[in-house]
Homo-oligomer: A and B are copies of this chain.
Amino acid sequence: MAGQVQRQTGVALWRQIADRIRQAISAGAYDETGMVPPETVLALQFGVNRHTVRSAIAALAQEGIVRAVQGRGTLIERKERLNFPITKRTRFTAGIGEQAREMRGLLLSYSEEKADADVARGLQIRPGEPVIRMETVRKADGRPVSCATAWFPAGRFGGMPDAYQRTESITKAFAELGLSDYVRATTEITAVHADEADTAALDLAPGAILLITKAVNTDLEGVPVQYAISRFAADRVQFTIEN
């Protein structure tokens, strides 16, 4: 698990090391002891000064992943990476349901607006037609996992914001509005560094990585009902595509 860190890359050593330790924790590298190796050992492993390792651990402590105890060592507090299956019938709440006790979708804001070119293409409507836009955050056991911007055709799903706020689930909200089933037509996946807004919304470590999906959901006749751009904290989730 060594593999040296890189200098003069615009990414501080302490951040690289924090990322590596976070990943090692979620991969179960320290499961036997439940603790991160001593600072002096890590410093030797990564080839850096002990103070640099301390900066990395401080960042992880800030995230709530580890807790340093004087005299004992650095304890692992949280070890997580939710699996998020992407299938024809992708259901966020259901898919994650077995891995977390409580799943909630929170509506941050919504508005009615006119579809721009991207949204119109996704929903297969004409640019300028009215759509409902919703900004949401989804949480597993109180911890933010992703935030999303979703668009719906305004005529058919004008009641979406209200239904979503009540049910805290897209699937249930669709059901309330008379759409009992829907399928995922396409999903695009990319990855970028988180910007300020998403860092705040997802309670992320600054400079963290986002996995981004652009998805179109359709009803059973193939008519688009939702176009959504979701931004996932990359260190908290993984996607699984089953065929």
Contact = CB atoms under 8 A, between A and B. Distances in A.
Interface of A: 3-6, 8-12, 14-16, 18-20, 23, 59, 81, 83, 86-88, 183-193, 195-197, 199, 205-207, 209-211, 234, 237-243
B10 A207 contact: yes
8 contacts: A6-B195, A8-B206, A10-B14, A188-B241, A190-B211, A190-B238, A191-B210, A209-B209
Contacts of A238: 188-190
Q: Top 3 A-B pairs ranked by shortest CB distance?
A: A10-B15, A9-B206, A11-B207
A211 B240 contact: no
A220 to B, nearest CB: 13
Given A5-B196, A16-B193, A193-B209, A187 B10 contact: no
B190 A243 contact: no
A193 B11 contact: yes
A10 B22 CA distance: 15
Given A9-B206, A11-B11, A188 B239 contact: yes
A18 to B, nearest CB: 8
